[in-house]
């Protein structure tokens, strides 16, 4: 579907009016754009001692991602690895209740409580954070219960996990694509192109990305994350019916399964201290405020308000169904341009 030249001109003529400002505070940001031919909706978190990522587990019956964020005092989150409780106490196979005594997930929702069954993580690796907020992988797989990635990476650091969620497949392990080790478990559904959820840390361990990449298979996801987000360690999260994302209290994604068992949540330093009772060591280094350093002025905000009003007018006159998909593709395509000024990226991102 094409948008008329007049509408395009009316939209993009506004973008040259923005400036660029730098400051020095912590940041988290939402990236809604197209990279490498795939649409992404990703939360970027700078681990600079001012923002932290924690795990929030649900009780029996699950909870919405919004509820899981609020449970630990936050308002920004993505779904984790939807699963039954660790002991499978309210799950049924062939109509019968079953239990499972091997820990498939380790999460510490309050920084204290551990999974009851945690002696062997099996084929699942735990995407973990220590009490200072530093990310690391932990896996302790004896190979007695499942084959797959037989890794014992950081197995002696189980007691250093302060927050974490385990799942499989591991996508990247110290920069290496390890999905082929799970070949027995990679079914046709996982080989097909679809929305894929993930969490990863970058080469320097100073940034975490978590979110969704559209139209990609599990086998192709590791190379994509390494190339376009500079990921070094990455874990697949539950997708499909479990997909959910909340940013600053706004629900951006909601799939049919509204209640999940866990979520990764972003907290500010004050929220983290209130939750854990800890005072993390301040981290040195340059910090960024706003959207990648761009701080919009009141004039910028007024331009955004005008722009959103223009879009609403187009929807009202011509129909939202007719133009929404085309507009999304248009903005994402513009955001994929490598030389796009940061001010324009901010505006596109706010609109999306």
Cβ neighbours of 314 (radius 10 Å): 19
Measured CA angle at 230 (ends 138, 48), to 5 deg: 70
- Which residues, at least 6 apart from 16, have a Cβ–Cβ distance to it below 8 Å? none
Nearest to 59 by CA among 77, 78, 84: 84
Distance CA(336)–CA(344), nearest Å, equals 12
Asked if the model's pLDDT at residue 101 lies above 60, the reply is: no
Q: What is the pLDDT of residue 25?
A: 36
Asked if the model's pLDDT at residue 13 lies above 60, the reply is: no
Q: What is the pLDDT of residue 105?
A: 53
Q: What is the pLDDT of residue 170?
A: 92
- Give tens-digit pLDDT for 271-320: 999 999 999 988 765 455 555 556 777 777 777 777 677 777 777 777 77
Which pTM does this prediction carry? 0.74
- Which residues, at least 6 apart from 188, have a Cβ–Cβ distance to it below 8 Å? none
């Amino acid at each position: 579907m094409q948008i008329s030249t007049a509408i395009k001109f009316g939209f993009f003529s506004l973008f040259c009016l923005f400036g660029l400002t730098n400051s020095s505070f912590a940041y988290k940001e939402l990236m809604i754009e197209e990279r490498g031919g795939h649409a992404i909706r990703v939360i970027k978190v700078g681990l600079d001692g001012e923002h932290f990522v924690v795990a929030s587990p649900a009780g029996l019956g699950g909870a919405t991602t919004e509820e899981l964020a609020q449970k630990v005092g936050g308002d920004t989150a993505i779904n984790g690895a939807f699963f039954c409780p660790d002991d499978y106490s309210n799950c049924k196979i062939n109509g019968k209740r079953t239990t499972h005594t091997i820990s498939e997930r380790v999460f510490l929702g309050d920084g204290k409580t551990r999974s009851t069954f945690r002696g062997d993580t099996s084929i699942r690796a735990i995407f973990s954070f220590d009490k200072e907020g530093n990310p690391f992988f932990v896996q302790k797989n004896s190979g007695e219960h499942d084959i797959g990635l037989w890794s014992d990476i950081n197995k002696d650091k189980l007691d250093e996990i302060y927050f974490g969620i385990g799942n499989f497949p591991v996508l990247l392990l110290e920069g290496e694509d390890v999905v082929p080790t799970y070949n027995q478990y990679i079914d046709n559904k996982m080989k097909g192109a679809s929305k894929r959820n993930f969490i990863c840390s970058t080469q320097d361990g100073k940034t975490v990305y978590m979110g969704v990449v559209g139209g990609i298979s599990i086998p192709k996801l590791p190379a994509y994350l390494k190339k376009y987000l500079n990921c070094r360690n990455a874990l697949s999260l539950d997708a499909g019916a479990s997909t959910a994302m909340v940013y600053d209290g706004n629900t951006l994604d909601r799939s049919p399964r509204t209640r999940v068992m866990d979520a990764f949540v972003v907290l500010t330093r004050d929220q983290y201290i209130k939750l854990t009772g800890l005072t993390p060591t301040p981290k040195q280094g340059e910090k960024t405020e706003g959207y990648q350093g761009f701080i919009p002025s009141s004039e910028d905000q007024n331009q955004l308000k005008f722009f959103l009003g223009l879009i609403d007018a187009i929807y009202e006159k011509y129909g939202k169904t007719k133009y929404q998909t085309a507009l999304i593709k248009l903005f994402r395509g513009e955001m994929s341009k490598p030389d796009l000024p940061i001010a324009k990226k901010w505006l596109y991102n706010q609109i999306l």
